[in-house]
Structure formats: structure tokens, C-alpha cells
Structure 1
Amino acid sequence: MTAAAPAPAHWPQLAAALATLPLPVAVVDLETTGGHFEQDRVTEVAVLRFEQGRISRHQWLVNPQQPISAFITRLTGISNEMVADAPVFADIAPALLPLLQGHILVAHNSRFDYTFLRREFARAGHAFAAPSLCTVQLSRKLYPEHSKHNLDSIIDRFGLNIAATERHRALGDVLALTDFLNLSLQQNDSQNWLNHWPQLTKPYWLPTWLPEHLRQYLYRLPDSAGLSVWHHPGHHTPTLLTHDHAFSQIASLLQLPGAGDRWQHTGNIRFIPALSLLHAHALKAEYLQTHPATPQAAAWYTAAFVADHHGRLQARVVPLNNGIQSSRPYGLFAHPRAAKKALAEWAREHSLCPAILDIGGQGGGLQTPCPVAAAQLCSGDCRLPEHIQQHNQAVLQAAPLLPVCDWGAQHALKLTEFNPLSGQTITLHCAAAAIEMADGQWYFDDALPRLFKQRLKNRSGIEVVC
């Protein structure tokens, strides 16, 4: 339900100060079944909304669709019986979302409320993100002489009038928090008080130089993974950005020096949701297939096998460019010297002729004395014309086992990404820190080696192919 709005006279100075900010302000509190972001659910929501001097109050009891423990009932006063006939979060989401989207969300320990809201909206099928200010941080900035900044300490310090039965209820805590904002404004220079807001608001609010249609679009983005496509008038190729926290990262990007010159002439933006940052890169690869772009030089190297004029495969260390690769990369190396050393060790391990492979890259091939044959460790028959096919087959069979920088013994993977909120999954086929595409081509980006290394720390959904 939504309660009637209190009169603006309750906080006239606060309402006037907040009206100078570039966005409306929503003071928010949630009650939940517990503190686990994935397992627990919301039981109550309260919002006090400030917009251009106007104040409105909104509150709902929410059926969490799971039992409320006796401990939580004792803490909040919210019982299973109270929420039995209450709407579920998905039912209130259409009314709640406009009260928060495009607002500065203010909460005590705002990460808690912000994370719960993002997850609940995602379960209900709505994208949500908002600039957020944590009043714990604001209290620390304004009152550094105090060691405690939890809400109970603030209530005691300011002598705020809140009944025991209203503490740990969403609206009671929102009203107490608003009283704190009001009193802290009165006790401090108003401009200094306001100066803390852009410093403490994370994610940032969007800059005023951004065209209004883009601002509205970006405020509707989620703070989750995806690919953003930025179209610029007069440019044939759009800018592609991959994200694991789309709104936060774009908001930070637009705060950088020179961002106005770089982005304010953007014509439009398209956002494609992803299940993870790796999936966002796979979506970028799919986009590049239909919108080709010139590959960009990367800081990594791989091995390629090319036939000499006799048809024998030789090894070459080549740069691994960002973008679409027509063939699979074999091995991943940070430096050509490391690649040549690894190729020599790999050839020895798999009994491949280093002279035919021309690992040194001198172009000697068959004219180069073979150190293995010279040491009488092989007959040298591999150089005979009738052994070309045997040599090539052996090379191609062993090529996928070339080392991959930072992957250890894992050369190729099947990696399944899973979104627990939507239940969606996607399986990526990966080798040498590149992603295989549906048509057999491969995609590589400078960021992928680090992302795969991080992903390998979580073994769930990973199948080692070789």
C-alpha cells in the first residue's frame, strides 16, 4: 500500500536543499528475511521521495515467498501472518520502480538495500540501477569525531523520536534517517553538506551535458553484465563496451576528464544484456560478425602452423589481434621469446622435429641440421617426402596442447555461465583465452586472459576439454 504524504513543512530546509541536486532523492529502507543476498527476500519496503520540494511517502508489506524466522520476527515485528496476504515483490515492482529509477537512492548501509533491490527487480524481470548515497559514509564525513555511525548510534546521538515498535520497520527507519539528514544539514554549512553528495554517491549520477534522451535511456540500464553499443553521427563503426556492472561503469566512464568531448555527441545507445562479462564478450563477437571492424593489435602472441613449399607444417609465432580470428589460436604467450621456448619444449615432449617446424624462424627447414638426429635420438626419416602427412597429423594433434599463459594444464574449456535470478545459461567453448563462435571462427580480446584466469577460480560450470 502507499500511505499519504507528510506535509513538506516537516523538513522544509531539507526539501529545499535536495531540490538543488540534479535528480530527485528517494530515502529507502528494506526489511528482509535475512542478510544473504541470494537466499533471502524482502518483507517490507518504504520510500520517502523528494522532488522539487514535494515529498511523498510510500510503503508496502511484501510476501517473501519463504518463511520468516522467529529471530527476524522478534527484530522487525513482521510475522508470517502479516505478510500472508501481502503482494509479492513482482506485484509491487511496477509501482516501486518509477520511485527509484532516475533518483538518488539514499539508505543506511546502502549496499545492502541497493543489492537486494537489484536482485528483486531482476527476479521480477525489471532492469534496475540508481546512483546511491550511503548515510553511514555521510555521517563519517560530517562527524569524524564519533566512532559509531550505525542507525541506533545516530538515533541516540541526535535524540531522534522513534518508537521502539517502529525501529527495524521500513518506514520508521526511513523517517529516522530523514530526520538525521535534516538535523545534519542544520548543523553544517549547507553548501559544504551538499558538496559531500557527488563525492559519496556511487554509482555516480549522470552528467548534465549528456543529452536528455541518452540520460533517460542510461538510467533505465541494469547494474549487471552486458554489451553497450554507442553510435556516433558520422562514424561508420560504433563503439562497443563490455560490462559486468553496466550502469556503474558507464556512469564512471562519463565522469572521466574529456568525457564530454568524447561522448556527448553520441546519437543513440543500445544495451544487450549478458549473463556474465565473458558472455558480454561473446555477444561482442557476434556483433562484430555482422558489423565487421578492423582487428586491433593486442599485447599477446600465439602459434600458427603454415605449410612450406614442400607442404610440411612449420611453426610461427604471430601476434594475436583483438577481434575475429579465422582460425583457432594455439597457445597463448605474453612475449615471442616465451613462445619460442614453449614451442621447443612442446616439440620435444611430442617427438616433433624442431628442424622441420623451424621453431627458430630462420626459414632453414630441411636445410637446418636437426639436433635430435645429430644426437642420434631419431633416424631422421621424418624429413623424407613420404612422411609429410605423418608429420602434419602429429603437429595438428599436438597443437591444442601448447601452453596457455596463466591457465596451467588447461588448454581448452567448455564454460557454462548461469544466472540464478533468471535461470538462464550459456555455454562457451574456449581455447587459448579465445572464444569459439558458431561458424567456427574465434574471438580474442586483450581482456580475456585475465577474465578467464578469474573465472577458473570458480570451478562450477567448467569442463576441461584438453
Structure 2
Amino acid sequence: MFDHYGKLLFIDLETTGVNPATDVITEIGIVEVSATGVERWSTLVNPERPLPLPVQRLTGISDAMVRHAPAFADVAPELLRRLEGALLIAHNARFDYGFLRHAFRRLGMTFRAETLCTVKLSRRLFPAEPKHNLDAIIARHGLHAAERHRALADADLLWQYWRKLERAVPAEAMHEAVRALLQKPALPAHLDADLLDDVPDGPGIYLFYGEHDVPLYIGRSSQLRARVMAHFASSRQSYKDAQLARQLRRIDWQETAGELGAALLEARLAHMLQPVHNLALLQDAQFCAWQLQPSPQGGLEPRLVCADDDDFDPDDGLYGLFQSPRKAQAALRGLAERDGLCPVLLGLEPGREAPPLPFTERSLHHCPACAGQGEQHGHGERLRAALRGMRLQPWPHAGAVAVIEAGTDGRQDIHVFDNWRHLGTARDEGGIWSLLEDAPARPAFDPETYRILSRVFAEGRFKVRPLTRSRAVRRQRGGTAQLAC
């Protein structure tokens, strides 16, 4: 099945970090297998920046070793010649492929190739095994590791592994596993067949656009590429996915440091862009909550407050967060039945002497609270007690806070909130200052943001940093605004 490839090219890269958009290649190692034999090729690459100490410790590559090495621009022609027409085989192939594509792109060159990931191949051939990293594969298959974390040595390990598989795995099973991994989903006709190569693997949001650039759909995922591909997997395609595929003309995406940033960005853009296929969900929701206020009779009565009101504030004693007034009333009616509350005083039924809903006085066919016999206050307190478990959390901080989210690729997003409102996301101190001081107005209360942030505070997975506006001092240090908190 490999006859149509000119060669198999086992490749490994060493890099300055894990983000192909900001980090660069420091070493390339290739084992090239073709009809003419096996050829090995490697080179150090001058990153034109200091190597991080953790990278030097891991790889053994020092600044002195790469100082006089060729830059990537100098090795690009030879590398491209070797890559041309090959099936690239790498461990965590998306990592190496991403670095190659970004490196060529910086030179104004487009590079595309078919790739095969040996991590995925190992998982498919040996699903019962718990680990599939290179060290586990070395131990499991008895590979000879001359040197670890150097490009050519690791590429040679992959070639050893391939030869072990050819001897240990039946040819039909091997071919079927490789065929399944190389198979790509059929993209809609209007999209570039190579588009999926550009979609990143990490967290973020994606946007589908139709004719005239009309937003069709927004989604989020911790694995963008896999999620976008799932929309076009014919065996699992839903009716909505089929509709989207017919209408789709363009895909865009935005990376985030993690899932929190993706969720916040999705919520903001969904309201801003109103994508057609998200719109039904947005329009169906008319979020509201109950608020207790004094009644003319001296007790307490519930008032429905809409979440899109300018003064909607959980600090004002709000209960429940319902998708519609109808659902809010249904919940209140359920409390009345459970706790023996008067549906007339709750505003659920017109005033009459003997409301027919079950409550403690029902057997007497008479409600003292309805009859004005001094029971309104007691009824109001029972209502407050019944609602207590539904109360929205007051803002738990003295002022604005920054929630710091660090990604696995070294990216850091700083999400700024005040009173459950998301003011925006910054990348540095100057960005925090801008969000705190330059925002034109306080954003409207967003129920989805409230739910997201409630989970953040409850789980305690992120560092939360108080930001006090009155103590904010803008300093210029090398032209960068600093925030003193």
C-alpha cells in the first residue's frame, strides 16, 4: 500500500518549546527509506535566540552547539527536497508537522505532506497497552536507544519500531491500521482539501461561515482539529452537520490557552455574531430569576427579574436562573406544592378564598394568609426558606479579579471579571489596565458566564488575583503599562 509514496521518511525534531507559532526548530533528524535503500541525514539549526535551560537539559543541545549551525532558511532547500513525495512518519506527528509548516511559512513557502503518527498507530495496534510514549514503545518492543531526545537517534528508533511491526503484526492488520489513520474526512465541496492541516490541535473556538460570509455556527473544543473533523465524519454526521456541510463556505478559528478561555470566547461571540445555527438556542432562552420584595400586605412576594435588565445583579438577592418565565413559574409552583405555600400570594393564581393547590391549610379549605389574618409575614419567611437553595451567589470578591489560565504550550490568558461580568481577556499587565480603565460600559449580565465562573470558583483550579481599581497605578516601564494591585 506504500508503493505510491516515493519513500517513507521517519523524522524527529528538537525545538525551543512546544508552540510552533512562537518556538523554532533546533535540530532535524531523518531516516529516509526508499527503493534504493536507507539514508540518514541530520543537522543542527541555529534558532537565532537563546535556548531555554530546560530544553538544554532535556536534549543536551547547548547555545554553543547551535551558535554556528545553519539557520533554517539555509537548510530549507535541502530539507524540502528530502520531504518531497514522502510519507512523513513521526511520534506525535502533528507536533513535528506543525513546526515544519510554520518554519516554511516564515520563509514564504507552503509545505504540505501526508503524515502518519506512531502514537496513534501504537494505540490502534495495541489497544490494551496503557502507554504509547516513545519510552514505553522502546521497552515493550526491545528497541535499541543510542541516545534519547536527539533528533536522528529518535528518528532511528521509529525506523526500528516500524521494522519490528512489519515482523510482529500480520500485513493485513498493519495495512488496515495505517489506511484508517491516513484516511481523511470528505470535506464539503467549497472547502480547500488541505484546510484541516491548518486547524490547530489545541483548545479554542471555531466558526463556520456560509455564502456572503454569514456566520452559520460557532463551537468550542479542547481539541479544535478533532472537533472540526468530527463535523464531516460521514459515519457520525447528524442532520445539523449535514445542513452545515451544504451551507459551509469558510472556516475560521481562534486559539486559547485552555478550555475556560474557549468557553468565554464562545459565549461572547455567539451573542455578538448571532450565528444562524446557534440562534435558535439563543432566541429560546429568556433568562430570568425570582426576587423577593415587600408585599402591600406586609409580607414578601416574588417578582420576576429578567437577566437582560440593566440592573440584574445577583448581589440583590436573586433566586434561580431559569431559561424562560414559564420555567420560572413552573419551579415556583413546584415549591408551592412541596412546601405548602399559597399560590395566590405567589401570583400563580388569581385571588380567591380557597385556592385548590395542596398546602398545609388545604384540609381546612381556608388560607389565613390569603384572608389577611396576619399570616403574610410567616408565609413570606417560609417562601424565603423554600427558595434558599436556589439563591444566586453574590460576587465573592471586593472588586474585579483576574483568573489566570496557563496553556500547555506556554501561552497565558488573563481573564478579567467584575461582579460576574467578563470584562475581557488580556495577555499581559498592560492589557489588564486597558480592560479595567478603558471599558466603555459594564457588560450585561450573561447567564452562561455566571455558570462558567461559578464552576471556576468552586473547583479552585485557577489562580485568582484580586484587582482593586482604586489602587491601580499606571507606571511606564520601558513603555509597558504595569498594574499595581
Could you tell me whether the CA contact under 8 Å between 2:216 and 2:244 is conserved in 1? no
Contact 1:243 1:249 in 2 (8 A): yes
* 1:46 maps to amino acid: G
**How do residues 384-399 of structure 1 correspond to structure 2 at under 5 angstroms?**
none
The answer to whether the aligner puts 1:177 opposite 2:164 as a matched pair is no
* 1:435-458 Cα deviation digits (max 9, x unpaired): 99967434445x973675156422
Shift in Å, 1:177: 0.7
Question: Where do 1:12-161 residues align within 5 Å?
Answer: 15-16=2-3, 27-31=10-14, 43-46=26-29, 59-61=43-45, 63=47, 65-66=50-51, 68=53, 72=57, 76-86=59-69, 106-108=89-91, 110=92, 134-135=117-118, 138-139=121-122, 142=125
| Runs of 5+ consecutive residues of structure 1 not aligned to the other structure | 1-12, 345-353, 381-394
Partner Cα separation in structure 2 for residue 168 and residue 430 of structure 1: 48
Distance, in Å, in 1 between the alignment partners of 2:302 and 2:75 is: 62
Change (3 A) 1:372 1:148: same
Cα distance in 1, alignment partners of residues 30 and 371 from structure 2: 77
| 1:174–1:303 Cα change, 3 Å | same
Unaligned runs of 5+ in 2: 353-366, 425-438, 469-485
Aligned ranges 1:58-457 → 2 under 5 Å: 59-61=43-45, 63=47, 65-66=50-51, 68=53, 72=57, 76-86=59-69, 106-108=89-91, 110=92, 134-135=117-118, 138-139=121-122, 142=125, 164=146, 168-185=149-166, 188-197=169-178, 201=181, 206-211=184-189, 213-233=191-211, 238-255=216-233, 257-258=236-237, 261-265=242-246, 266-275=248-257, 276-285=261-270, 287-288=272-273, 293-296=279-282, 302-304=288-290, 315-316=302-303, 325=308, 327=310, 328=312, 330-333=318-321, 336=328, 340=332, 358-359=345-346, 361-362=348-349, 369=369, 374=374, 403-404=391-392, 410=396, 414-418=401-405, 421=410, 425-429=414-418, 431=420, 440-445=443-448, 449=451, 452-454=454-456, 456-457=459-460
Q: What percentage of residue pairs aligned between the two structures are identical?
A: 22
Asked if the contact 2:93/2:116 (under 8 Å) is kept, the reply is: no
TM-aligned CA deviation for residue 303 of structure 1: 0.7
Query: What is the DSSP-based 3-state SS (H/G/I as helix, E as strand, rest coil) of the residue aligned with 1:264?
Result: helix
Q: 1:289 to 1:154 in 2, by over 3 A?
A: closer
Q: 2: distance between equivalents of 1:409 and 1:186?
A: 63
Task: Report the CA distance shift for 1:70/1:448 in structure 2 as closer, same or farther (over 3 A).
Answer: closer
Distance change >3 Å, CA 209–CA 373, structure 1 → 2: same
Helix, strand or coil for the counterpart of 1:16? coil
Q: Secondary structure at the match of 1:230?
A: strand
Distance 1:213 1:95, change over 3 A: farther
Which string of whole-angstrom CA distances, capped at 9 and with x for unpartnered residues, describes residues 354-377 of structure 1?
999954634659x99389993696
Q: In 2, distance between residues paired with 1:233 and 1:181? A: 46
Contact 1:29/1:107 (<8 A) preserved: yes
Residues 30 and 42 in structure 2, CA contact (< 8 A), matched pair in contact too: yes
Asked if structure 2 preserves the Cα contact closer than 8 Å seen for 1:30 and 1:46, the reply is yes
The 1:235–1:192 alpha-carbon spacing in structure 2 relative to 1, beyond 3 Å, is: same
TM-score for both structures, normalised by structure 2? 0.54
Cα pair 1:130 1:219 within 8 Å, conserved: no
Distance 1:264 1:50, change over 3 A: farther
Q: Contact 1:47–1:59 at 8 Å: present in 2 too?
A: no
Deviations 1:250-281 (A, max 9, x none): 12332252367344321222324445213322
> Are 2:464 and 1:461 aligned?
yes
- The count of corresponding residues between Structure 1 and Structure 2 is 393
Does the 8 Å contact 2:15/2:26 carry over to 1?
Answer: yes
In 2, Cα distance between equivalents of 1:437 and 1:140: 52
Secondary structure at the aligned position of 1:46 is classed as strand
Partner AA of 2:205 in structure 1: L
